[in-house]
Structure 1
């Protein structure tokens, strides 16, 4: 107890500090602004991967998928445009509209055409190579070659066609892609998509195209064949186009000298309808790789002189097994009497049938019978008649089944008939969304009835079939959640139903779902979901 102080006196304490509310307000506002800026920056980076800075950041975050090699039957929905149609489309755009279109074209290519608005522009027609050059680290595509071409039927359009490939095939590509060679792009054979368009100073349009199939190419009068490979990465900081102004002007001058030396007729720049050009003597075309075919199995033929197995006679007192064939026992052999050599007849060989390809029959080779001398005092017996040939029954050859490698992708044919139900009156089953389809692909349907709900966009529509894509939200696109565009839903409709039109939005809930019949997962991660319409029309 402290006796030196009075109980009425207070002990000394430091003065209380005042709270700086103004400073805390500024700090909270700064943190809020930083969070808001980070939120907007994430949308800016994820929604614009065509910008070099965004592409570099997304690559470090492993948010850029590898470039996909498409198949001719599973390519993105698009439209095929001739040189005149391409020129008319891009020549009327202003600078801002053309820049926006180029950003969208490059963005679709980087995303492997998973979030496409509208149709992908594909190129068809005939083009002549004006100049070629090898791609390097300072280009957007860092390996391969690019060919500057001129449209044969429209001199107002230039095209730089990309050929991305590994460095091993570059020597063969340089020998094949010569100046003056014609490139023929057909609708049923090629898928060269436009990824950039540029307006030149003289009013012409130059487009950049890349083949989405990355197939094999050869010339009609040559032996070399080279195969393209999807690019591993892009150097977007190099900028478009790949043929800059100086390189393009130089290539056009060299091509003019080449035309002058070869005395080839000049192609006039026409605005109206052009005359159909003559077919080229040599052109670059895409070729399909041969698929291995298994040879049909051939039943081995028994060797000459090989004996067939005899039927064992059934012992007495034993019953035959059920459904067993009755076979006649072999006749008991009796000792043949001695015969004279001059009157003996050679036994004929027993013919047999073999299940194999028909071959011309060979005449039987007679085997000389052993000569037995007649003993004195023994009467000479008459020659025994030759034994008749008993054919051995052999099953006929079965036809070899045809190769089933070209079976269609669909698991159930459209236009059939099955039972349909009123809304909410279908049998009990498990209801899932598009995000649960990968789990079904891994574990299967397990014999249960599974229904699909969600919102879908119609990519393709036919008489009794439609191909849908799940409709994803903005957050799913940014964070790569849900099924996304790597899921394709093939809907089969009964006879008499009208499928939805292309581009329409289809909504299905727990009252009107689709019934899943099969889910397949390809090697590249693509999900093919086969469903059928079981709801009665409204």
Structure 2
């Protein structure tokens, strides 16, 4: 009875709702698509910093370091190409291939050549300036001068050489970089990297190069010097090349009018499509990079005591030349050059000075004398100079501290502390010169991961004794506790870069 009475009443509580599986599936798919798009977007931004939008975003996130000033012995590993080699490399490329190459060149420059696949191309040769253009806010580089030059020995190659500098130096630079001036790039003094390659309307190759040393330049027959500075920011939206086609055509027309009244020989004119058979003579006025002179401190020298003349003997004391039992020996003073001059002159006879007693005393220490050698009887390899120092057989070097590349950061913080420090590990040769080589530690971690995690790079500059042949670029050098390198100095830059200076002390 009661059951029939309450069967039409609403039960207490909320009714059970049905789960909408379609809505949940759609939401999960949307979140998955958003995560996948964010993942692809991060790769698009971080792996393509040469795009204007990616560069601006990375600059706001402080993931782009400003261009760095390199040293001649610490430049990225590369190859030096003359105008003919530049033409043979970039002229046959199609539009798609050239665009891919330009993206890689700009990416390497923006990343300060930290993730370079292969060798960096450098420009060498002789070029003559056609025109100059002052850089501004509408250009890729916002301050400085860009010089348009033509290769002297190859009429098919044009060069845009960028000179970034402070605005205060621009008037002097415009006066120095005049049309007709010859620019000579040599592998022993200049490191001008190719950062863009293009083709002009008539099919010539247009190369854009940046001097990575950012040094000081001067002309051989002129006064005044100017110093380059790394650019603080890039305006990639302005586009490449720096001389657009209309500006390039106008610059060549102005240069042709300038050269009409100048006497030239047929062998010195670069004609498009024709390569001169002979090398033109060197120009009287050249633009060259100069090194700042360092003051040399001359060590203070103490005058040496006068030496006695040959044949002079100390005058014995006593009548028969014998020394008394309780009397000390006495010697006559040494004859000086002034006394010799008096003896040879017809002046009156020289009077003999009174004899002086000889007293035994310990010699005073000379502050200018060289320091004592180590206990093993050999000079330290880190202090010996001139390209020659003591080398040792494997395992026979003096006792010291052995470190790995991972420990170099601690060595830079606390210093060498006066003890010998040896370096072991596997290294890859980036650059090799007559008696120096630049190495970097060989790591299993890819360079891309090191870049994203903000890892610091280590560069080892190794100096070899006279007669040693440095390893070739690209080869792998392995050193262990038996054949280590001796570390002489560790420098840490503001950006975290470690420059390690070492020497080869092992016998071949």
TM-score category (smaller protein): 0.7 to 0.9
Matches of 1:62 and 1:128, distance apart in 2: 39
Matches of 2:264 and 2:441, distance apart in 1: 50
Q: Which residue of 1 aligns with 2:224?
A: 224
Q: Which residue of 2 aligns with 1:20?
A: 20
Name the SS of the counterpart of 2:72 in structure 1. Answer: coil
Would you say 1:520 and 2:497 are equivalent positions?
no
Matches of 1:83 and 1:186, distance apart in 2: 13
How far off is 1:478 after superposition?
4.4
Greater CA radius of gyration, 1 or 2? 1
Is contact 2:154–2:276 with CA below 8 Å preserved after alignment?
A: no
**Structure 2 length normalisation: TM-score?**
0.74
Q: Which residue of 2 aligns with 1:191?
A: 191
How far off is 1:250 after superposition?
0.7
Inter-CA distance 53–514: structure 2 relative to 1 (3 Å threshold): farther
Would you say 1:285 and 2:288 are equivalent positions?
yes
Q: Which residue of 1 aligns with 2:155?
A: 155
Inter-CA distance 175–389: structure 2 relative to 1 (3 Å threshold): farther
Is contact 1:458–1:469 with CA below 8 Å preserved after alignment?
A: no
Q: Which residue of 1 aligns with 2:395?
A: 419
Matches of 1:329 and 1:82, distance apart in 2: 80
Q: Which residue of 1 aligns with 2:61?
A: 61
Matches of 1:16 and 1:49, distance apart in 2: 55
How far off is 1:130 after superposition?
0.4
Name the SS of the counterpart of 2:218 in structure 1. Answer: strand
Matches of 1:437 and 1:182, distance apart in 2: 44
Matches of 1:170 and 1:85, distance apart in 2: 32
Would you say 1:468 and 2:434 are equivalent positions?
no
How far off is 1:262 after superposition?
2.0
Is contact 2:402–2:422 with CA below 8 Å preserved after alignment?
A: yes
Q: Which residue of 1 aligns with 2:453?
A: 480
Name the SS of the counterpart of 1:67 in structure 2. Answer: coil
Inter-CA distance 10–517: structure 2 relative to 1 (3 Å threshold): farther
Which gives a bigger RCO, structure 1 or 2 (Cα 8 Å, sep 6+)? 2
1:180-217 CA-to-partner distances (Å, cap 9, x unmatched) read 11111112111111110001221100000111111111
Inter-CA distance 174–449: structure 2 relative to 1 (3 Å threshold): closer
1:331-387 CA-to-partner distances (Å, cap 9, x unmatched) read xxxxxxxxxxxxxxxxxxx9999xxxx9999989xxxxxxxxxxxxxxxxxxxx863
Is contact 1:414–1:464 with CA below 8 Å preserved after alignment?
A: no
Which has the larger displacement, 124-133 or 272-281? 272-281
**Superposed counterparts of 1:81-230, under 5 Å:** 81-230=81-230
Is contact 1:181–1:282 with CA below 8 Å preserved after alignment?
A: yes
Superposition CA RMSD, Å: 4.8
How far off is 1:437 after superposition?
3.7
How far off is 1:25 after superposition?
1.4
How far off is 1:527 after superposition?
2.0
**Structure 1 length normalisation: TM-score?**
0.70
How far off is 1:30 after superposition?
1.3
Matches of 1:174 and 1:464, distance apart in 2: 37
Q: Which residue of 1 aligns with 2:318?
A: none
Is contact 1:126–1:185 with CA below 8 Å preserved after alignment?
A: yes
Name the SS of the counterpart of 2:279 in structure 1. Answer: coil
Would you say 1:77 and 2:77 are equivalent positions?
yes
Matches of 1:351 and 1:534, distance apart in 2: 48
Is contact 2:152–2:270 with CA below 8 Å preserved after alignment?
A: no
Matches of 1:391 and 1:362, distance apart in 2: 26
Which has the larger displacement, 131-140 or 456-465? 456-465
How far off is 1:295 after superposition?
3.3
1:241-262 CA-to-partner distances (Å, cap 9, x unmatched) read 1111111111100000001022
Name the SS of the counterpart of 2:261 in structure 1. Answer: helix
- In structure 1, runs of 5+ residues without a counterpart are 302-326, 331-349, 365-384, 421-426
1:129-159 CA-to-partner distances (Å, cap 9, x unmatched) read 1001111011111001011101110011000
Inter-CA distance 16–532: structure 2 relative to 1 (3 Å threshold): farther
Inter-CA distance 397–11: structure 2 relative to 1 (3 Å threshold): closer
- In structure 2, runs of 5+ residues without a counterpart are 305-326, 344-350, 371-381
Which has the larger displacement, 6-15 or 72-81? 6-15
Q: Which residue of 2 aligns with 1:334?
A: none
Q: Which residue of 2 aligns with 1:313?
A: none
Which of 272, 275, 291 is the equivalent residue of 2:278?
275
Inter-CA distance 293–489: structure 2 relative to 1 (3 Å threshold): closer
Inter-CA distance 20–243: structure 2 relative to 1 (3 Å threshold): same
Inter-CA distance 431–72: structure 2 relative to 1 (3 Å threshold): closer
How far off is 1:392 after superposition?
10
Q: Which residue of 2 aligns with 1:372?
A: none
Name the SS of the counterpart of 2:49 in structure 1. Answer: coil
Matches of 1:359 and 1:105, distance apart in 2: 74
1:16-36 CA-to-partner distances (Å, cap 9, x unmatched) read 122222111111121122112
